[in-house]
Amino acid sequence: MSQEKRPLHEVLSHKLIFAPIGIAEEMKRGELMTILDTLRQGKMKAADAHKIAEDHAGLPELLKSAGKIHLAQFAQEVLDDLAGRQDEKKQEKTEEVVDTVVHG
Count of structural domains, the chain: 1
Q: Does residue 86 form part of some domain? A: yes
Q: Does residue 71 form part of some domain? A: yes
Residues 57-69: pLDDT tens digits? 999 999 999 899 9
Q: Does residue 66 form part of some domain? A: yes
Write out the residue range of the structural domain in which residue 93 sits.
8-103
In terms of pLDDT, which residue wins out, 58 or 101? 58
Q: Does residue 60 form part of some domain? A: yes
Measured between alpha carbons, how far is residue 3 from residues 6, 10, 48, 83, 104 in Å? 9, 14, 22, 30, 49
Q: Does residue 25 form part of some domain? A: yes
Q: How far apart are CA 91 and CA 71, in angstroms?
A: 35
In terms of pLDDT, which residue wins out, 23 or 43? 43
Residues 83-98: pLDDT tens digits? 999 998 765 555 665 5
Q: Does residue 20 form part of some domain? A: yes
Q: Does residue 2 form part of some domain? A: no
Q: How far apart are CA 52 and CA 50, in angstroms?
A: 5
What does the DSSP assignment read for the chain? -PPPP--HHHHHHHHHHHTTTTTTSHHHHHHHHHHHHHHHH----HHHHHHHHHHTTTHHHHHHHTT-HHHHHHHHHHHHHHHT--PPP-HHHHHHHHHHHHH-
